[in-house]
Structure 1
Amino acid sequence: MNRSILPLLIMLVIAACSPKPTEQEKQPETTQVKLTTSKGDIVLQLYNETPQHRDNFIKIVEDGVLDSVLFHRVIETFMIQSGDPDSKLAGPEDTLGNGGLLYTVPAEFHPDLFHKKGALGAARDNNPEKASSSTQFYIVQGKVFTDSLIDAAQNRINGWLAESFLRQDSAYLPYIDSMNVALMSGDRETYFRFSNYLKTEAETKEEFDPHIIPESQRDVYKTIGGSPHLDQNYTVFGEVVSGLEVVDSIAAVATNPLDRPLEDVRILKVEVISKE
């Protein structure tokens, strides 16, 4: 045999015997969704780390659930919210925010997914499981935070985590109920007194795992901005990859006392544009 051919044959044999990548080893597809709004286009990328929210969002997009809905809740330096099917035919005086399909999506919290500017999050009502609305979502505009404000947000997060943790012990339910009554009545002093008490109690329990905002995420909150107090409490399942200026434009519109825009801002069409 020609000696010059032998090395080539060896390489071909090795290549043929090498294991092929399994389905698990292949890079997962990345899904992007385009919102065509009356203020311009926003392109969202859905996270594979939150598969239930990703799949649900794709389904309601493909079913046309989000076509023609309004941005019904807009708070500048915080977020813009949409996805209420009842808003499609809503009159100017209608109160919105309670619509959706008859199911919820289980919470999916991931340590690397947080409420930076442009984050796509799932709205929800006040439920102990923190399960998400089937259709309503928000996009974070947020603001830039200082270290002291991030510390305050972290304290607020751990207050919520403490409430969820201690809810398993019936002895703490009266305190939790009193705290929530204070919150609903606008009594911030009483609310924070109970919240701080519950957080202190939880921290004495070995099983309680408080949330620490990582330095890498702190850096983002101090430069790009966001809404850190929502972390570990509302599911983040995507982010804006194009159209942040449209988010800013929507966030800047005039609103009524219920945070609904005085002039309708509508999502005209939603479509899945790529799976890469």
Structure 2
Amino acid sequence: MKTFYLFFVLSLIFFASCEDTKKEKKITTESTSEKIKDSISSEANKGTNNQPVFEKITSDNVESFLTQYEKNNPENKVKIITQHGNIEIELYEDTPLHRANFIYLVKQGYFDKTFFHRVVPNFIIQGGNSDNADTNKKRFKIGNEYLIPAEITRNHTYGSVSGAKQYRENPDKQTMPFEFFIFLGPQTSTSHLNGNYTVFAKVTKGMDVVEKIANLPRDEGEWPLRNVKIKTEIIN
């Protein structure tokens, strides 16, 4: 009788152990499955270089897109790197759409491998374009048909950074999103600039580099004979 009772108790322990093992295996499987789903979802929201994927900017969503981006990306200092030296700029908070657009382009790597493609001594240097096919591909991916609403609050002074704009069919003085210019001319050269172009930043370091670039040999179209390549990065 004792032998039978001992056998009965051992059998209960064995079956209970098997049931616990099954339950534990099921929980582990479900947990692993959830982790895989979370991982896939996380990777789907990443672009190249771990950058989030954004919708294409259009004339219809430009204000809402930049307004939201401005709230989530408060950076306002950028370094422009060239073979002639570095230029540091600080973006104004009271031109939020232009600040957001410029920071967005920097983080998307748009300006990298573009040039200062127009240089005029005692006036301006203009950057953000190139004759590389890659530049047009970047513009198309970001959105090549939108313009930034004007935020004209300042006049041009030595070291001002402004957005370039289209002259044709642009009564609202909207800014072209991909090109900018740094002003280095005398105040007598600002009459056609003030009130027509949005000043959204200022040079805080490197105006000697700006002067050097402005005086480089150039062709009849004011394009430097040797390309002045640009790379940009956020300054912490």
Fold in common (TM above 0.5): yes
CA distance in 1, matches of 2:144, 2:78: 20
Do the aligned residues in 1 keep the contact of 2:106 with 2:232 (CA within 8 Å)?
A: yes
Deviation at 1:141, TM superposition (A): 1.1
**Amino acid of the residue matched to residue 257 of structure 1?**
E
Aligned to 1:130: 173
Unaligned runs of 5+ in 1: 1-28, 91-99, 146-225
Tell me if 1:87 matches 2:131: yes
Tell me if 1:102 matches 2:158: no
CA distance in 2, matches of 1:144, 1:230: 10
Alignment partner of 1:248: what SS? Answer: helix
Cα deviation code 1:35-92 (max 9, x no counterpart): 01111100000000100000000000000000010111111111000112x43459xx
CA distance in 2, matches of 1:137, 1:80: 9
Do the aligned residues in 2 keep the contact of 1:106 with 1:132 (CA within 8 Å)?
A: yes
Deviation at 1:109, TM superposition (A): 0.9
Alignment partner of 2:102: what SS? Answer: helix
Percent identity for Structure 1 against Structure 2: 39
Unaligned runs of 5+ in 2: 1-73, 135-142
Aligned to 1:273: 235
Deviation at 1:263, TM superposition (A): 1.1
CA distance in 1, matches of 2:160, 2:131: 23
Q: Please show how residues 183-262 of structure 1 align to structure 2 within 5 Å.
A: 227-262=190-225
Aligned to 2:158: 117
Cα deviation code 1:186-233 (max 9, x no counterpart): xxxxxxxxxxxxxxxxxxxxxxxxxxxxxxxxxxxxxxxx63430110
Alignment partner of 1:77: what SS? Answer: coil
CA gap of 1:30–1:119, structure 2 versus 1, over 3 A, is same
CA gap of 1:263–1:241, structure 2 versus 1, over 3 A, is same
Alignment partner of 1:36: what SS? Answer: strand
CA distance in 2, matches of 1:272, 1:101: 23
CA distance in 1, matches of 2:177, 2:87: 21
Q: Which has the greater radius of gyration?
A: 2
- Normalising by structure 2, we get a TM-score of 0.61
CA distance in 2, matches of 1:58, 1:234: 19
Instruction: Give the total of aligned pairs.
Output: 153
Pick aligned residue for 1:143 from 178, 186, 198? 186
Deviation at 1:144, TM superposition (A): 5.4
CA distance in 1, matches of 2:109, 2:192: 32
CA distance in 1, matches of 2:101, 2:177: 7
What stretches of structure 1 move > 2 A for 4+ residues in a row? 86-90, 226-229
- Normalising by structure 1, we get a TM-score of 0.53
Alignment partner of 2:156: what SS? Answer: coil
CA distance in 2, matches of 1:38, 1:232: 33
CA gap of 1:41–1:89, structure 2 versus 1, over 3 A, is farther
CA gap of 1:30–1:64, structure 2 versus 1, over 3 A, is closer
Alignment partner of 1:247: what SS? Answer: helix
Do the aligned residues in 2 keep the contact of 1:78 with 1:227 (CA within 8 Å)?
A: no
Alignment partner of 1:136: what SS? Answer: strand
**Amino acid of the residue matched to residue 80 of structure 1?**
I
Alignment partner of 1:253: what SS? Answer: coil
Aligned to 1:31: 76
Do the aligned residues in 1 keep the contact of 2:75 with 2:234 (CA within 8 Å)?
A: no
Alignment partner of 1:109: what SS? Answer: coil
